[in-house]
Amino acid sequence: MRNLCLVLGDQLDAGSALFEGFEPESDRVWMAEVGGEATHVWSTKARIAVFLAGMRHFRQVLHGRGWPLDYLALDEHDFPGLAEALAASLQVHRPQRVLCVCPGEWRLRESLRETVEAAGCEWVEVPDRHFYCDPESFSGWAKGRKTLRLEHFYRWLRRRESVLLDDCEPCGGEWNFDAENRASFGREGPGLLPAPHAFEPDRITRGVIELVEAHFPDHPGTLDDFDWPVNAAQARQALDDFIRRRLPGFGQYQDAMWTREPWLYHSRLSAAMNLKLISPREVVEAAEAAYRAGDAPIAAVEGFIRQVIGWREFVRGVYWLRMPDFAEANVLGADQPLPAFYWTGDTDMACLRDALWQTLRFGYAHHIQRLMVLGLFAQLLGVKPEAIHHWFLAVFVDAVEWVELPNVLGMSQYADGGFMVSKPYVASGNYINRMSNYCGGCRYRYGNATGDDACPFTTLYWDFLERHRDRFSDHPRTALQWKSLARKSDQERDAIARQAKALRERLAE
Ligand code: FAD
Ligand code: SF4
């Protein structure tokens, strides 16, 4: 055999460069479902099901082309991991070369490459056309910069790709509409929200749901509400639904949160994009077209495009630039275990309870819930970065390490010491109260740092400032926060430190 072409669970792109020059007489496609990918972090049922359903629908696409395919279904083999499954297939087929688009995870890339080379075959990585910016051009852009900032990268890439530009200048006259994109829903709430299009599981997906229930019965979460897009046609429908019904409200409310409203104006496209069921170019072009047609305001469209062409490409560039050391980063010396309630949602903190409820139920929380509730609490508590990284990788339907790890270790935990963001994203319960209705239904008082009803976020916020005073008090972007700490009396600070210590001890049990 000439080429064995590997398709991994997050590479379901029918137009992939992998298939260029594919010759059915001498080449073969290879896909495998393995339990190890669901258990190396304790994945939610929804995350496992999204990947397996996506893979099984992609198998249909390949069958339609009539190409030779090895598809190792989960219940038809005993290989624990991808490397073992591949090693056995290499013995059978003895290909000259193994072709693959770069895997989305350092660990997997290394283990597959080693397996292929150990079998005496050539490992060939074909270009990944899904992204706007490949790791080489990212490292060219990053060269010579001590710290990397999204805003600089975003403008560079937007110019290079001519996205949302009029005569080489940004549409609407500004590169950044963040100031218009931070509204909350106030006291009135969000009102009637446009519910996203739900994808009723078809026969293939129902089969996957049964399989996941049978093989991973004790994994967290539920599949009762599974309605994610799992093939290219559904991903396009999801995009169309978002552009028509939610994009106009996206910008203004992108940071807002509301109890039992998991979707708000968000796109729900991350899993479809990360599995490559749809390309970010198609997503960005659809958003820009909506602006040009007058169907969505510039602030919403710019805010959305910034996430896709900005953050998404930026974190991928940082991942490949910084791995493998990135995964070990822990500049703040955080060493607490992850509280057990992250796996169950069983907590009396209303904000965390709501964010965990939807995470475990749908495999989804939106950006501010991830950053300013789930990630923030772990950071303030001082949870070991590896523990919170593994949790984030396990629970979300869109979690692939290239995007999850930089967001968690770099953006949310500041574990890399500010290589990726200019300051730690730390806030007290005040922020959560401003951006949501959570605090009104909580047994704690968001303004209190000490006492029985003290908000744990607020206690831990002041404690964080105290613990990391030396590192941040002179920093130009954070000095204000630390100045307000200086206004607290010694007694207040002692009481906060005692309360934080007790909280930490209780949550480590
Ligand atoms: P929308 O709010 O509609 O945003 C549109 C798109 O922009 C998303 O689909 C996504 O592709 C992209 N995007 C937005 N923010 C980011 C970002 N910070 N980094 C990369 N892409 C972004 N995203 C993942 O895809 N997988 C993850 O595992 C993941 N883990 C995260 C962990 C933390 C701690 C944080 C703070 C963010 C994480 N994100 C992750 C980014 C972001 O939260 C999700 O992409 C987004 O919530 C997905 O929902 P959506 O599709 O409705 O996004
Ligand atoms: Fe969360 Fe504190 Fe508000 Fe309760 S009071 S919802 S714990 S921020």
Boundaries of CATH 1.25.40.80 in the chain? 135-196+246-322
Is ligand 1 within 6 A of the CB of residue 358?
A: no
For the chain, give the percent of residues with pLDDT over 90.
93
Predicted confidence at residue 483, as pLDDT, reads 85
Q: At 52, is the secondary structure helix, strand, or coil?
A: helix
Assess whether the C-beta atom of 454 lies below 6 angstroms from ligand 2: no
Nearest to 37 by CA among 388, 400, 469, 366: 400
Confidence of residue 485 (pLDDT cuts 50, 70, 90): confident
pLDDT at residue 160 above 80? yes
Contact (Cβ atoms closer than 8 angstroms) between residue 265 and residue 250: yes
**CA 243 to chain CA centroid, nearest Å:** 21
The fold of 3-126 is: Rossmann fold (3.40.50)
pLDDT tens digits for range 448-459: 999 999 999 999
Q: In angstroms, what is the span from residue 362 Cα to ligand 1's centroid?
A: 15
pLDDT category at 182 given cuts 50, 70, 90 is confident
pLDDT digits (tens, 9 = 90+) for 108-123: 999 999 999 999 999 9
Q: Which atom of ligand 2 is nearest to the CA of 433?
A: 3
For this complex, say whether ipTM is above 0.90: yes
403 lines ligand 1 (CB under 6 A): yes
**Nearest bound ligand to CA 439?**
2
- Burial code of 407-420, b = ≥16 C-beta within 10 A, e = fewer? bbbbbbbbbbebbb
Residues of the chain with CATH 1.10.579.10: 340-507
Angle of the 313-322 helix axis to the 150-160 helix axis, nearest 10: 110
Distance 270 CA to ligand 1 centre (A): 6
Flag whether pLDDT at 477 surpasses 80.
Answer: no
Q: DSSP assignment of 221-255, as one string?
A: S--TT-----SHHHHHHHHHHHHHHTHHHHTTTTT
- pTM of the full predicted structure? 0.97
Contacts of residue 139, defined as CB under 8 A and 6 or more positions apart, other chains included, come to 317, 320, 321
Q: How far apart are the first and last CA of the chain?
A: 56
Half-sphere exposure of 32 (CA within 13 A, CB side): 23
Does 461 sit in the ligand 2 pocket, CB within 6 Å? no
Tell me how far the alpha carbon of residue 477 is from its chain's centroid: 26
24-78 pLDDT, tens digit per residue, is 999 999 999 999 999 999 999 999 999 999 999 999 999 999 999 999 999 999 9
Per-residue pLDDT, 258: 97
Is domain 135-196+246-322 annotated with CATH 2.70.70.10?
no
What is d(CA 314, CA 420) in angstroms, rounded to the nearest whole number? 9
Q: Which of 376, 438, 453, 459 to mutate to test the pocket of ligand 2 (most atoms within 8 A of CB)?
A: 438
Question: What is the pLDDT at residue 344?
Answer: 97
Q: What pLDDT, on a 0 to 100 scale, did the predictor assign at position 422?
A: 87
Domain with CATH 3.40.50.620 in the chain: 3-126
The C-alpha atoms of residue 104 and residue 404 are separated, in whole angstroms, by: 10
Which CATH number applies to 340-507? Answer: 1.10.579.10
Distance between CA atoms of residues 227 and 237, nearest Å? 13
CA 281 – CA 101 distance, rounded (Å) = 18
Q: What is the mean pLDDT of residues 243-248?
A: 97
pLDDT beyond 90 at 181: no
pLDDT confidence bin for 480, thresholds 50/70/90:
confident
Determine the average pLDDT of the residues in 273-285.
Answer: 98
410 DSSP 8-state letter: I
How many angstroms from the chain centroid is the CA of residue 491?
41
- pLDDT value at 354 more than 80: yes
Res 352: pLDDT:
98
The finding on whether 432 has its CB within 6 A of some atom of ligand 2 is: yes
pLDDT category at 484 given cuts 50, 70, 90 is confident
324 cis-preceded (ω within 30 degrees of 0): yes
Per-residue confidence (pLDDT) for residue 509, from 0 to 100 = 85
- Nearest-CA neighbor of 496 among 440, 457, 439? 457
What length is written for the chain? 509
Q: What's the average model confidence in pLDDT over 284-303? A: 97
Backbone angles phi, psi at 162, to 5 degrees: 50, 55
Encoded amino acid at 226, one letter: F
Ligand 2 centroid distance, CA of 444 (Å): 6
Q: Report how far ligand 2's centroid is from the alpha carbon of 489 (Å).
A: 24
Tokens linked to 196: 């996203």
Which residue, among 432, 408, 246, has the nearest Cα to 354 in the 3D structure? Answer: 432
Strand order in the sheet with 27-32: 69-72, 27-32, 3-6, 97-101, 122-126
Spatial separation of the C-alpha atoms in residues 7 and 27, rounded to whole Å: 13
CA distance 352 to 314: 28
What average pLDDT does this structure show over 5-17? 97
